[in-house]
């Protein structure tokens, strides 16, 4: 089976899970052609991401002349399909309520994609995230191109959902993948309950061969690791407030922040004002192997998010036998509970401090038991081979020959 993958920007440091998914599908015998709207503007740090970039075809980056030529060709050879796509693009723009020029660009990208898929003999395209790349795939389908499906993660896709025209995108899709039951319920709300059977749960997952645990996964350190983009949604700005009451009793308490983003300056300012410089290390983005090494040396993972889908970083911590401290939002309670970590209300700094203290006071034996439960959950629910098999079966069941 030959399919295409379409992303907005790919590869990116934060989309390792997509790379894993593609590779797992290829191991199952699915031939995958990578497409992206544009290349990522930041520096890649993992060699495998650099290799993926060389395999990816970009629709927009460096292709303005080709987009215009593709439009002229489509106008001459597929006027009826183009007319329907223009009408669909207009509906999408009206729902979004903004960015008319961007929607013109989406239409041009969809035309280019349709012609490229047709030339390559690809009969289905899968997209991650329900934003502009799914818009391009939907318009490609309306033009008369390949069937498409898309995976919804959240949280951004679930904010102002009416602007994303879920009803149109789900209606035209062959199927939709939700990464959690929470996500599936939201899609049924936004797109219409009559689409319930069209929405499949396909969890994000790990290649567990990359996450072999040491014989004793418990670390004697009092180090916590937080992994993710530094942004208001992930609420790393609360961490200095949460650990401040604890440092007197635990002078070796340390938090390592892996990632970078728009709130880095705010976090650094708060650390400096509270005199907590010796208790924090901001290391920026790191390769996958470096992240695993940092996690192995930690007592637990910490993620005090305000908004999430179901974080892959939690799965990674569990796979290495580490407990997790996180918040009771979105799909997180489907994976984290008191048997394998601590889960607190988002934004409750006192509860977060209490969870950190409980973790610091928990015996190595109990931490080991919690880590084993977390590892077992990931093995049962988030093994990449299992998720890739579900996805492949969906492709085979739902994808149709191009019209």
State the CATH class of domain 2-205+384-398. Answer: alpha beta
The answer to whether the peptide bond before residue 155 is cis (omega within 30 degrees of 0) is yes
| pLDDT confidence tier of residue 141, bands split at 50, 70 and 90 | very high
pLDDT digits (tens, 9 = 90+) for 320-329: 999 999 999 9
pLDDT number for residue 402: 46
pLDDT digits (tens, 9 = 90+) for 105-137: 999 999 999 999 999 999 999 999 999 999 999
Fold classification of 208-381 (topology level) = Rossmann fold (3.40.50)
Residue 401 has pLDDT above 60, yes or no: no
Give, in order, the Cα–Cα distances in Å from 93 to each of 80, 112, 189.
20, 19, 21
pLDDT digits (tens, 9 = 90+) for 310-358: 999 999 999 999 999 999 999 999 999 999 999 999 999 999 999 999 9
The crossing angle, in degrees rounded to 10, of helices 132-142 and 79-96 is: 150
pLDDT number for residue 46: 87
**Predicted TM-score of the model (pTM):** 0.90
Helices and strands (H, E) in the chain, number of each type: 15, 13
pLDDT number for residue 362: 96
pLDDT number for residue 215: 60
pLDDT digits (tens, 9 = 90+) for 193-212: 999 999 999 999 999 999 98
Beta bridge partners of 374: none
Say which residues have a Cβ less than 8 Å from residue 240's Cβ, sequence separation at least 6. Answer: 267, 270, 271, 274, 276, 280
What is the rounded average pLDDT for all residues in the chain?
95
What percent of the chain stands above pLDDT 90? 91
pLDDT number for residue 13: 86
Residue 178 has pLDDT above 60, yes or no: yes
Grouping H, G, I as helix, E, B as strand and the rest as coil, residue 30 is coil
pLDDT number for residue 399: 73
pLDDT digits (tens, 9 = 90+) for 32-56: 999 999 999 888 988 999 999 999 9
Give, in order, the Cα–Cα distances in Å from 399 to each of 24, 112, 149, 174.
19, 21, 9, 6
Residue 383 has pLDDT above 60, yes or no: yes
Residue 216 has pLDDT above 70, yes or no: no
pLDDT digits (tens, 9 = 90+) for 242-280: 999 999 999 999 999 999 999 999 999 999 999 999 999
106's tokens: 């989406």
pLDDT digits (tens, 9 = 90+) for 45-85: 889 999 999 999 999 988 889 999 999 999 999 999 999 99
Domain positions in the chain are 2-205+384-398, 208-381
pLDDT number for residue 313: 96
Residue 403 has pLDDT above 50, yes or no: no
What number of other Cβ atoms are within 10 A of residue 249's Cβ? 10
């Amino acid at each position: 089976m030959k399919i295409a993958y379409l992303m907005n920007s790919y590869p990116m440091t934060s989309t390792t899970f997509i790379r894993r998914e593609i590779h797992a599908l290829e191991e199952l015998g699915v031939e995958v052609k990578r497409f992206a709207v544009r290349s990522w503007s930041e520096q890649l740090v993992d060699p495998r991401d650099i290799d993926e970039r060389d395999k990816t075809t970009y629709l927009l980056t460096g292709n303005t002349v080709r987009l215009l030529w593709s439009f002229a060709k489509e106008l001459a050879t597929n006027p009826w399909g183009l007319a329907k796509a223009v009408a669909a693009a207009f509906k999408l723009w009206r729902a979004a309520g903004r960015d008319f020029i961007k929607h013109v660009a989406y239409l041009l990208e969809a035309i280019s994609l349709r012609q490229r898929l047709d030339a390559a003999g690809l009969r289905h395209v899968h997209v991650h995230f329900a934003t502009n790349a799914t818009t391009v795939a939907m318009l490609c389908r309306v033009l008369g191109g390949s069937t498409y499906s898309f995976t919804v993660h959240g949280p951004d896709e679930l904010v102002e959902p009416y602007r994303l025209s879920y009803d149109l995108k789900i209606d035209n899709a062959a199927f939709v993948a939700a990464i959690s039951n929470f996500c599936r319920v939201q899609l049924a709300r936004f797109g219409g309950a009559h689409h319930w059977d069209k929405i499949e749960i396909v969890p994000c997952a790990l290649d567990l061969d990359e996450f072999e645990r040491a014989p004793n996964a418990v670390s004697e350190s009092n180090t916590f690791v937080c992994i993710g983009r530094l942004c208001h949604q992930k609420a790393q700005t609360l961490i200095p407030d949460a650990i401040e009451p604890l440092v007197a009793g635990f002078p070796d308490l340390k938090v390592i922040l892996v990632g970078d983003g728009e709130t880095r300056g705010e976090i650094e300012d708060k650390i400096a004002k509270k005199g907590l410089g010796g208790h924090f290390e901001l290391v920026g983005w790191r390769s996958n192997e470096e992240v695993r090494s940092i996690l192995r040396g930690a007592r637990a993972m910490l993620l005090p998010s305000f908004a999430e889908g179901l974080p892959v970083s939690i799965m990674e911590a569990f796979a290495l036998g580490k407990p997790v401290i996180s918040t009771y939002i979105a799909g997180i309670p489907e994976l984290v509970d008191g048997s394998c970590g601590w889960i607190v209300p988002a934004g409750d700094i006192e509860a977060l401090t209490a969870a950190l203290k409980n973790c610091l006071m928990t015996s190595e034996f109990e931490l080991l038991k919690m880590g084993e439960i977390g590892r077992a959950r990931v093995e049962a629910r988030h093994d990449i081979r299992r998720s890739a098999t579900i996805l492949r079966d969906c492709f085979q069941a739902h994808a149709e020959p191009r019209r």
